[in-house]
């Protein structure tokens, strides 16, 4: 345990940022910078507000990336997610914005975000963005989120 990085939020109480601009992602050194590999976060607890009606929206997010020099520390990711709680965001816009935010913070070799939004008016929207085709030597499993089915 000699080369343990020093995350800024992990293991200590942290106030939730009130706005996405107030959140800060915490890059930690990639322990295997020689290796091409995938890291996947699943965030089943994302919520924001509809900019038109002000009503809450909910999404299940899957974030896949191949790190370059840095990883995203997971507690700082959670705080970023929480910062959207009381702010307006359209589904397509918000999903891609989060991707761009992470790219800016850690400059990964590759990144994909998959946002599965809860239905409105009987119709859910899924949004999937990636920075480009995945590197050919990287294995990215299916996200496997079941499709929306209504009832029955």
CA angle at 77 for the pair 73 and 78, rounded to the nearest 5°: 120
Three-state secondary structure call for residue 105: helix
| 19 lies in the binding site for a second copy (CB under 8 A) | no
Point out which span in 12-20, 90-98, 101-109, 135-143 binds Ca ion (CB under 5 A): 90-98
> Is residue 50 flagged as an active site residue?
yes
Among 68, 74, 105, 109, binds a second copy (CB under 8 A): 74
Distance, in Å, from the CA atom of 96 to the CA atom of 56, rounded to the nearest integer, reads 19
Q: Which of 21, 26, 57, 97 is catalytic?
A: 57
Among 82, 98, 108, 111, binds a second copy (CB under 8 A): 82
Residues 6+ apart with CB under 8 A from 41: 61, 62, 63, 72, 74, 77
Task: List binding-site positions.
Answer: 72-74, 91-92
Residues with a catalytic annotation lie at 50, 57
């Amino acid at each position: 345990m000699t080369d343990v990085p020093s995350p800024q939020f992990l293991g200590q109480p942290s106030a939730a940022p009130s706005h996405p601009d107030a959140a800060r992602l915490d890059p930690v050194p990639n322990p295997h910078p020689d290796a091409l590999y995938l890291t996947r976060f699943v965030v089943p607890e994302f919520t924001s507000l509809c900019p038109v009606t002000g009503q809450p929206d909910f999404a299940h997010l899957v974030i896949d990336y191949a790190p370059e020099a840095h990883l995203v520390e997971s507690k700082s990711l959670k705080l970023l997610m929480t910062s959207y709680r009381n702010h307006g965001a359209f589904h397509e816009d918000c999903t891609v914005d989060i991707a761009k935010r992470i790219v800016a913070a850690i400059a990964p070799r590759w990144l994909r975000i998959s946002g599965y939004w809860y239905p409105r008016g009987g119709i859910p929207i899924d949004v999937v963005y990636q920075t480009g085709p995945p590197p050919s030597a990287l294995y990215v499993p299916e996200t496997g989120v079941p499709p929306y089915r209504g009832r029955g």
